[in-house]
Amino acid sequence: MSANDPNPLRDLFAAADARRGPIHLIDRDFDGVDLYVGNRQAASDPALLAQHGIKAVLNCALNLDVNLVATPAPDSRNQDFGRGPIRYYKLGLIDGPGNPAEMLLAGYLQLRGLMRQQMPDTASYPWPGSGHVLVNCRGGRSRSVILVSLFLHLERPERFPTLAAAIDHVRQMRQLEPIEWPSAPKPVLIEAALWAAQVAESIRALHMARPEADRS
């Protein structure tokens, strides 16, 4: 089927996306940091990010790059490089088969780490103060949803004892419509996240089993 052929399901998804805002608050107060999910429009809108107090973006989409460079470096020769107004991180996931399950585990650790990262007080790291975090992909329906769901399940198991419970919460907060649920997130990503959750919990158990003096 070509891109020009009628596709009712694709049309339904496009209509749902048009009704939904580009960004939604998913959960609050991870040591003062609120967590958002959004799409490519949210990730590429510095004014919208500033409106929500977002100071870091984690882009989950392999097939999406966002140029947030505000002040190009003096030695830029071809395409601009330099710093932007926010901290920008990239996790390149495919929205379907092809991702090693380890990438979901890496994404969880990356998200957990960037929330706790402490910026040095130097001119090379001009992002003072803390801020909130946006996790995005192209549509904010699948890759970002599964990563944030995995994070919620592992970080707040008392509220989200299963990955399915976390996915249900993110779908609701992101205003995903029931017609989208079978592919939001993609089943293959859910399978990878289930594996990642098991591995993360095993690592945590091993860590807690070590003598307290040896923990770092």
DSSP letter assigned to residue 210:
S
Once rounded to an integer, what is the mean pLDDT over residues 8-16? 82
Tokens of 134: 């946006």
Q: What is the DSSP code (8-state) at residue 55?
A: E
pLDDT value of residue 124:
86
The model's pLDDT over 175-186, given as tens digits with 9 standing for 90+, comes to 999 999 999 999
Write down the mean pLDDT value for the chain: 91
Q: Determine the pLDDT at residue 1.
A: 37
Q: Which residues pair with 134 in a beta bridge?
A: 36, 57
Report, as an integer, the average pLDDT of 101-120.
95
Nearest to 54 by CA among 80, 33, 79: 33
Top mean-pLDDT range of 20-34, 59-73, 111-125: 20-34
Q: What is the pLDDT of residues 161-204, one digit of tens each?
A: 999 999 999 999 999 999 999 999 999 999 999 999 999 999 88
pLDDT at 216 over 60: no
Is the pLDDT at 213 greater than 60, yes or no? no
Q: What is the mean pLDDT of residues 44-48?
A: 96
Is residue 215's pLDDT more than 60? Answer: no
What is the torsional sign of CA 120, 124, 130, 135? Answer: negative
Pick the CATH number of 16-68+81-118+127-214 from 3.40.50.970, 3.20.190.10, 3.40.30.10, 3.90.190.10: 3.90.190.10
Q: How many CB atoms lie within 10 A of CB 7?
A: 13
